[in-house]
Each structure stands twice: as C-alpha cells, then as structure tokens.
Amino acid sequence: MKPRLIDVHTHTQFAEFDIDRDAVICRALDAGIWMINVGTDRRMSESAIGLASKYEIGVFATAGLHPTEIHKKFDYDFYKKLAEAPKVVAIGECGLDYYRVAKHKTRNLKQKKAFEAQIELAHKLKKPLMIHCREAFTDLIKMLQVSRSKLRDNNPGVCHFFSGSIEDAQKLMDLGFSFSFGGVITFAREYEKLIKFISLDRILLETDAPYVAPALYRGKRNEPLYVEEIAKKLAKILDKDFEEIAEATTKNAIRIFGLA
C-alpha cells in the first residue's frame, strides 16, 4: 500500500507519547500517513529504531546526535551499529544550532566535530543526512561545501524546519539538499516567499511532533496525523490542489529516504 502523506520528521518515541504512543501511530497509519521518527541521542535513536521494527509498514527511524545534545558524546562506532538497522533511513538529526546553545567557541567546535563525524557516517553507510540548523547557516553550508565529496550525488539529505534565507536555500539546493516544512508555516507568513522559491521536487512535509502544532491545534501536543494541515497550507501557498502536493511530497520522501 502506498502512503497518502509522509511525515519525514517526527518524534513519537519521546516521553510526551508514553501514555498513548501506539494509538497515535495507528491513527496516522490508518489515515495513510507514514512517518520517520528522528533520533536525537543514543537512547532516542534506539527507541525510534525499536518503534520502526514494531510496525510492519510505514514507520521508519533515523540515528544521530542533535547539536543541542552535544554534552553527550558522539560515539561513532555505537551510532554506526545502530544506523545499520534495516529501517534506519537517515543519519541525524545532526547539524549546528547556535540559537539554543549560546555561542561559545568550544561548544561550536564540539558541534562541528559531531556534525563532521555524522557526515562521515552517512557517507560510509550511503544514507542521507537529516539536518537541523538554527542561526548557523553560514558555518553549516561551509562545512557541507568542504565535505562535498562525501555527500551523496543524488539526494544527500533534508534540512528540516528550514529557517534560512533564500540565498542559503539556493546554496543548499546546489549541493542537492531538500527541505521539510512543518507547523510554523501555518501561522507565520515569512515562509511563503521561500516556499515559492524552492522547487516542489525538493519539498517535504514534517510535524516535528510533539512540538509546534499547526494553527488548528496550536498550543496542543502535535502528532503525525496533523501533517495533513501542512499539506493543506502548502497547497494554498503554491496555489495547487491538495492531491498534487500530497503526491509530490510523498514521492520526494520515498525517493530521498528510499522508503519501501
């Protein structure tokens, strides 16, 4: 069965879903929505993989260390082993975050080191990167350009919750990257120009649940089912039918992450 929509960046393994995790996942799957549960550290990567193996179809995982979790060590061999599990479809979320981690030389250096190691891991395992970047696009793009030979020729990865400029987007597109958008586009208008600028074959849907629920559910816990709201808003911004957006973004996700 082919999915109707794919939430490429969600965290149903987080504690916020401890009371009803399976119900949340099942109501998404029942609505034809597949999901990728994104790891943020060792434990959350392991739980994401555990969840993926529990469901026969439609639930995938990533393994990696989030840049704000940098006080935890990036143990290359440990993550390599994790990432070799069949349902791990990307490395990350990894990248740079100078917003939540106050600019501090040693911390920046630590983030860069962990990101570099995860670029290497993605290269070794021929998997795409799931990138998190906040207020650090100049450094991030520089690092990706330097590592260009280690990025996959086609579809090296996705910048999730993209908040960079149009110029940043262009540079990342030149490197082959795609972009996922979530709840924020349903209540903040500053993304419209950017979304119109990026070609539709580089756009994906995400919820980043439990965070940033779309306008209709604002303030509540977010969940993969609500990805439908993101597709609706994208259709509005791009002046296209919902079905066209659903089909295009689903195709993109299947292609980039090799979902089957």
Which of 72/196 has CB closer to Zn ion?
Answer: 72
C-beta of 34 vs 240, nearer to Zn ion: 34
Closest approach of Zn ion to the CB of residue 38, in Å: 5
Determine if residue 66 is labeled as part of a ligand binding site.
Answer: no
Positions in 200-219 near Zn ion (CB under 5 A): 208
Residue showing the smallest CB distance to Zn ion in the complex: 208
**Residue 11, marked binder:** yes
For residue 210, the minimal CB distance to Zn ion (Å) is 10
CB 177 within 8 A of CB 230: no
* Cβ at position 93, least distance to Zn ion in Å: 5
Report whether 208 belongs to an annotated binding site: yes
| Rg of the chain (C-alpha set) | 17
228 is in an annotated binding site: no
State the Cα–Cα distance between residues 52 and 59, nearest whole angstrom: 5
With 0-12 CB in 10 A as exposed, 13-18 as middle and 19+ as buried, what is 1?
A: exposed
Of 51, 66, 194, residue with least CA distance to 130: 66
Residues in contact with Zn ion, total (CB under 5 A)?
1
Q: Is 161 in a helix, a strand, or coil?
A: coil
DSSP 219: T
Binding residues for a divalent metal cation: 9, 11, 93, 132, 160, 208
User: Site residues (CB under 5 A) for Zn ion?
Assistant: 208
